[in-house]
Structure 1
Amino acid sequence: MVPTGARETRRAGSLQPTELAHAAVMAALCAATAIIAVVVPFAAGLSLLGTVPMGLLAYRYRLRVLVAATVAGAMIAFLIAGMGGFMTVVDCAYIGGLTGVVKRRGRGTPTVTVAALVAGTVFGLAAVAALTVLSRLRNLVFDAMTANVTGTSRVLEQIPGMEPFALRLREDFATMLNYWPLLILAAGIVSITGVSLIGWWALSRVLSRLFGVPDVHKLDAPADDAPAASPVPVRLRDVHFRYPGANHDALGPVSLSIEPGEHVAITGANGSGKTTLMLLLAGREPTAGVIERPGGVGLGHVGGTAVVMQHPESQVLGTRVADDVVWGLPAGTHPDVDRLLAEVGLDGLAERDTGGLSGGELQRLAVAGALAREPRLLIADEVTSMVDQQGREALISVLGGLTQRHQMSLVHITHYNDEADSAERSVNLVGNGGTADNVEMVPTAPAPVASATHHAGRPLLELRGVSHEYGSGTPWASTALRDIDFVVHEGDGLLIHGLNGSGKSTLAWIMAGLLEPTTGSCLLDGVPVADQVGAVAISFQAARLQLMRGRVDLEIASSAGFDYHDHSKVVRAMTRVGLDPALGLRRIDQLSGGQMRRVVLAGLLAKSPRVLILDEPLAGLDAASQRGLLSVLEDLRRNSGLTVVVISHDFSGLEELCPRTLHLDNGVIAQSPSTTTTGGMS
């Protein structure tokens, strides 16, 4: 989704990788909606939702992208729901396409009306031609129409005084059948025009709201950015950047340079502008100041700029490891895939399914895909924050030697001291977007030894023989948990840790009642927690997925269950987790990852939950924010009896909050390792 004026550049020729990816996703959404509308009784009205993805495609991309999505979605719907599903997708593509194209060209209702009349005429003439040739189908259609009219007239006859109207209806319809070509043509024009205008009225309002949501963190280079790029050296001189609608700069003034072959770490507190700086280095234009490069940014182009993001799932597109490495490369480009995979520690995994990779492996695959473009500038944006200790160490090892093995510069954005120490120099951003000589970094700590010590309170959450298998009964069945037994007591503070894929997040979802175990039971006060969804509050690992409202104050009030007009409650909730109350009116998409996480926690804590599950609560938080949040949670546990379960790879400072520790290893509770250190997340 993009705001008006930020539409994709339309190229001639075959479909581009990004166009294929968007067409596939939107086709799947439309097909799923069509299937539900056809299969579920009385759900035909849901088919209108299928016009939204098609409308977005038509607005943002070339017509051939919409055609590709229509063909793919219609085939899927036909295979599952028959002709009804097929025609529903085609109808959605027609309405969405018409609306998207008209909106893109800046036209309005008159254009839609004319287009609908033309389409209705074409449809009516086609129907007349078909019924002329197919006489048996014509008789069947006429019999069905006659039956409907007869049934309607009989209903009218039961109403006093309506008998003449009922008789007139039957006689007039019989007369009209003698001129059936005109009847079918008129019906086609009226129906298509009516559906088009209704779809335009509804969909244009939906699209207008979507276009008004700024995608502020979208990577975008100048429209005329040449594939033959020279992104380094890059020099920023008194650069400022302010997001649309904001009343202050997110970054600036900043003056710095990135030289060829240099490894630079970018550090700073949440909200200091690290992500904004990344966007500027990747090609976004500053609102003030100058960015000098010898050539274009070349974002995504061979020899240009490559970016590896925090969540690898958003960058992995191929279903096979080798395919993902070369995804989107120009025709005729043949990188040495095996060599690249070996360089990032994925030797021998070229034929593996990407769905079976751990978080650390996915992140290293993203690095391999970036290296396949032979970038002159690689930007790694907190790439270790969602992987376990082993994956983090492997990533640091890979990143640390890139500038020696390749002709490239590396900019690594991080909160962690050991990662910053591996760079040649650090640029520390301060709160106003400027730079400082030093900044407090997040420390690392050894993994705590498993402990059975618990709070003296009564049993609250009980897990008895819990096992869980994904895809049960299919060839793709995968066991996530096996025979889990433990009790969480009232006022307890429990830390659960383990490597990626050990089952931590699955366990968190079961404890929150969002997932029922395949076998065993999870009880809250002796009752299955799945029957009490909401009684156990949970903060997801990916905070953005938990934020449903467009603005910070609306999100906190909605999550906590109070009126957002009660400003004092919103301020109190924000202050509690160390958020500046001035952020209350800011859009969610303008926040950093750490700020989003604190917004989620503000809403959850404002509900005063008895049990709070935090899945990687410290991910993306700077050192001061981590201390502040942990202090709040410790106080609540100690003085208010809040029961806290933390799932984390970040152990520094958790001793007071979580005196009890469980270690998960391949889905089972095991002895905790006592010698590893980590700062990454899972």
Structure 2
Amino acid sequence: MAQAAVMAALCAACAVIAVVVPFAQGISLLGMVPMGLLAYRYRLRALISAAFAGGAIAFLVAGLGGFMTVMICAYIGGLTGIVKRKGRGAFTVLGASIVAGVAFGLFVTTALLGLSRLRLLIFDTITANATGLARFNEAAARFLDWIGVAPFTWLADGLAATADPIRDIVAWGLRYWPLLVIGYAVFSIMVVSMIGWWVLSRVLEQLRGIPDVHKLETPEPGTPGPLPVQLRDVRFRYPGAEHDALAPIDLDINVGEHIAVTGANGSGKTTLMLLLAGREPTSGTVARPGAVALGEADGTSVVLQHPESQVLGTRVADDVVWGLPPGRDVDVDALLDEVGLAGMGERDTGGLSGGELQRLAVAGALARNPSLLIADEVTSMVDQAGRDALLEVLSGLTRRHSMSVLQITHYAGEAESADRIVSLSESRDNTEMVGTAVVPSATGAVDHNGAAPVIEFDRVSHEYGAGTPWAKSALRDISFTVHEGDGVLIHGGNGSGKSTLAWIMAGLITPTAGTAMVDGKPAGDQSGAVAVAFQAARLQLLRPRVDLEVASAAGFSPGDHDRVVAALARVGLDASLARRRIDQLSGGQMRRVVLAGLLARSPRVLILDEPLAGVDAANQRNLLVLLEELRRETGLTVVVISHDFVGLEGLCPRTLHLRAGVLESASESAKELS
């Protein structure tokens, strides 16, 4: 349904542009692509939902023309997607279009039979137009005869000869109008369908090679019974991959256990989650007493890394029960109290912090009364306060409920709270976990030895939605300077304005007040000199393969294999990953691929938004050593936004602390921490 909502919005946007903008009717062809992709990957009801949702939006904005454009896109895209998914060809499309044309023609004929006054009005209009055209031809023929010149005389004879046939053809068409309507419907729909098939099938062929490898499977029906579960010699390899994503594993999970799963990036932690959530292994056996029952009562619930992708309701209380069957009795207040959100049922979910959103996602999972709850690195994107609150919730679930918890984590403190730890690292030497450290206090400027200023902020403020009733202040009166070769850590809780500050430094947004300069010029004009790695690494990866992504980001040819391998090696990635698809990587590997492409560009400034999230301890240490060497030896200016502080003291000798959009002084930060 989430996919249907997004595709409906895209199709509606195309339809509105096609109707509202002059000479932009061709844009409507783009609306077929999201509908075709939806029908290609999902069931028919997703396409129907998207068609009606997109049609409603287009009708409200652009009227009946917008609505009909969405319906046509849904028909053509849906037909092409379904035919492609079932492995059929053009003859199937042709046959379906003939059936659709006959059905549509019969519908219009029936409607015109019932609406007699409308039918007579249409027929009178057609007759008047035909009569007018015939009389125009006759008048033109007389005028050309009056001129008397030979070429005009021949033309006059031709025009005069067309007048009676026009009247006769129109009269015949109106006498047998039902056949004409059905025939026209069949012909037009058949032509449009074949054109749509020819265009859209090529697009879907390209999309066929982009597997959604981390997608949760649609659960098989059956009596819920995910526990106890036994995995025997289970391994998994993604389609087209050369290596197993999960090495052979034996694992038992019993009722009432809290198990922590650890391991290096790429060791198969997320793949194990998918297998426990219902995906079939490549080999081995998974034995359960009943069905996985993903998202169903007494079944399996999953809480993922990014809370924004799991919270759907606009009100906290609504989100807890989102998707539950009607009549299901849920004590929402008790669940919110259990996860530390007491009294927040009426709050808008858009105003929650990252930690609060994750606890809300846990409450939504608990509303299903699951037998097995899987938490996949749920603390990696939230601040320390949010982590502590989440850990307190997760560690007590097995005592308060008849359930088991499988927690995937890189953090030592989180794993120690579990009943037992399962490590997926192939080597016993690679079992080091990410530690924790106290929040560093803000520090003043360090000695720059005459280095030139690179980033200069002077009384910068930023307000989202400025001038509207929804205006929201993100930064207020921020002033600081970062010199060449500086290493600066920007710390603050969720919602303190860290990401907004990074976007302004990178020139991606312009502050509403104050000046933001990079090398003496406005930051918006210096975006090429500032490289930024976003918090959600997957959204920054635009190419299908690792080598293509690194080469594209760095600006060299993807055929230069040696440079690709060298770029990957700098961030601790093996050369064998160069040909791997992006969607086959773990979250930590994706983050390092982004960094490999950015470093290969040799940027002036490197901004890293949560660079250590989801990265295992060994690779965290290697990345920090690499960045520290680059900063000291090449003068690279590094700005790090992070909730993780272990090992950052060498890379970032200077710390800035943000609180509610305001930059705290060193004395204020030290006083708060004490």
- Asked if TM exceeds 0.5, the reply is yes
1:11-50 per-position Cα deviation (integer Å, ceiling 9, x unaligned): xxxxxxxxx4443333222112212222334332221221
| One-letter amino acid matched to 2:407 | H
1:219–1:127 CA distance, 2 compared to 1 (3 A): closer
- Note the 1:492-571 alignment, pairs <5 A: 492-571=486-565
* Alignment match, 1:112: 93
Tell me how far apart the structure 1 counterparts of residues 672 and 399 of structure 2 sit (CA, whole Å): 28
Pick one of 423, 443, 446 that aligns with 2:438.
446
Cα distance change, pair 83–650 in 1 and its aligned pair in 2 (3 A): same
Q: How many residues align?
A: 646
The offset of 1:264, in angstroms, is: 1.1
Shift in Å at residue 169 of structure 1? 8.9
Cα shift at 1:534: 2.9
RMSD of aligned alpha carbons: 2.9
Note if contact 1:616-1:648 (Cα within 8 Å) is conserved in structure 2. yes
Whole-angstrom CA distance in 2 between matches of 1:254 and 1:273:
10
Aligned-partner Cα distance in 2 for 1:74–1:144: 33
Secondary structure of the corresponding residue to residue 460 of structure 1: strand
* Deviation of the 1:440 alpha carbon: 0.3
The separation in 2 between residues aligned to 1:413 and 1:655, in whole angstroms, is 27
Which string of whole-angstrom CA distances, capped at 9 and with x for unpartnered residues, describes residues 249-271 of structure 1?
12122122222211111111111
Q: TM-score, normalised by structure 2?
A: 0.89
Of stretches 126-135 and 59-68 in structure 1, the one that deviates more from structure 2 is 126-135
1:71 counterpart = 2:74? no
**CA drift at 1:358:** 0.7
Alignment of 1:12-411 (within 5 A): 20-124=1-105, 130=112, 133-137=118-122, 171=162, 174=166, 176-180=169-173, 181=177, 187-220=184-217, 223-224=220-221, 226=222, 228-411=223-406
* Structure 1 pair 168–504 and aligned structure 2 pair: CA distance change class (3 A): farther
Q: Residue type of the partner of 2:572?
A: G
* 3-state SS, counterpart of residue 607 of structure 2: strand
* Displacement of 1:185: 5.5
Counterparts of 1:43 and 1:178 in 2: how far apart (Å)? 36
What displacement does 1:59 show? Answer: 3.8
Name the SS for the 1:522 alignment partner.
Answer: strand
CA apart distance, 1:146? 10
1:577-596 aligned at under 5 Å gives the runs 577-596=571-590
Which runs of no fewer than 5 residues in structure 1 stay unpaired?
1-19, 678-682
Offset at 1:497? 0.8
* Mapped contact 2:220–2:293 kept (Cα < 8 A): no
Task: Indicate how the Cα distance of structure 1 residues 470 and 114 shifts in structure 2: closer, same or farther if over 3 A, else same.
Answer: same
Asked if the contact 2:130/2:170 (under 8 Å) is kept, the reply is no
Answer whether contact 2:219 2:293 (CA < 8 A) is retained.
Answer: no
Distance 1:108 1:636, change over 3 A: same
- Between the aligned partners of 1:137 and 1:480, the Cα distance in structure 2 is 59
* In structure 1, C-alpha distance between the alignment counterparts of 2:158 and 2:40, rounded to whole Å: 47
- CA distance in 2 between counterparts of 1:307 and 1:328 reads 14
What residue identity is the alignment partner of 2:409?
T
State, as a whole percentage, how many aligned pairs show the same letter. 65
SS of aligned partner of 1:335: coil
User: Any idea what the Cα deviations from partners look like across 1:96-148, whole Å, max 9, x if unmatched?
Assistant: 12223323443221121122233334545666774983444556678889999
Q: Which residue number corresponds to residue 413 of structure 1?
A: 408
Shift of 1:66: 2.9
C-alpha offsets along residues 240-294 of structure 1, whole Å, 9 cap, x if unaligned?
1111111221212212222221111111111111111111222222212222222
Deviation at 1:55, TM superposition (A): 2.2
1:239/1:254 contact within 8 Å kept: yes
Q: Is residue 446–residue 675 contact of structure 1 (8 Å, CA) maintained in 2?
A: no
Aligned to 2:453: 459
Q: Distance in 2 between matches of 1:658 and 1:146?
A: 85
SS at match of 2:423: strand
CA distance in 1, matches of 2:581, 2:233: 26
Q: Which amino acid aligns with 2:6?
A: V
CA contact (8 A) 2:321 2:330 kept: yes
**Cα distance, 1:58 vs structure 2:** 3.2
CA distance in 1, matches of 2:153, 2:333: 82
CA distance in 1, matches of 2:477, 2:182: 67
* Whole-angstrom CA distance in 1 between matches of 2:95 and 2:224: 45
SS in 1 for 2:74: helix
* In the alignment, structure 1 residue 619 sits paired with structure 2 residue 619: no
3-state SS in 2 of match to 1:457 = coil
Identify which range, 608-617 or 28-37, moves more after superposition. Answer: 28-37
Distance in 2 between the 1:45 and 1:478 partners?
A: 38
Q: How far is 1:533 from its partner?
A: 3.1
Q: Aligned partners of 1:168 and 1:87: how far apart in 2?
A: 40
Aligned residue for 1:110, secondary structure, equals helix
Q: Judging changes above 3 Å, is the alpha-carbon distance between structure 1 residues 383 and 513 closer, same or farther for their aligned structure 2 residues?
A: same
1:637 Cα deviation after fit? 1.1
107-116 vs 196-205, greater mean Cα deviation: 107-116
Q: Distance in 2 between matches of 1:166 and 1:208?
A: 55
Q: Is the partner of 2:651 in helix, strand or coil?
A: coil
Cα distance, 1:668 vs. partner?
0.8
C-alpha separation in 2, matches of 1:162 and 1:243: 75
What code does the residue aligned with 2:526 have?
Answer: Q
Does the CA-based 8 Å contact 1:449-1:671 persist in structure 2? Answer: no
In the alignment, what sits opposite 2:148? none
User: What's the TM-score once normalised by structure 1's chain length?
Assistant: 0.88
Deviates more, 1:563-572 or 1:530-539: 530-539
Would the alpha carbon gap of residues 277 and 164 (structure 1) be closer, same or farther in structure 2, given more than 3 Å must change?
A: farther
- Aligned counterparts of 1:71 and 1:167: Cα–Cα separation in 2: 54
How far apart are the structure 2 equivalents of 1:212 and 1:115?
A: 27
Secondary structure of the residue that 1:217 maps to in structure 2?
A: coil
Corresponding residue for 1:16? none
Alpha-carbon distance between aligned partners in 2 of 1:613 and 1:166, rounded to the nearest angstrom: 77
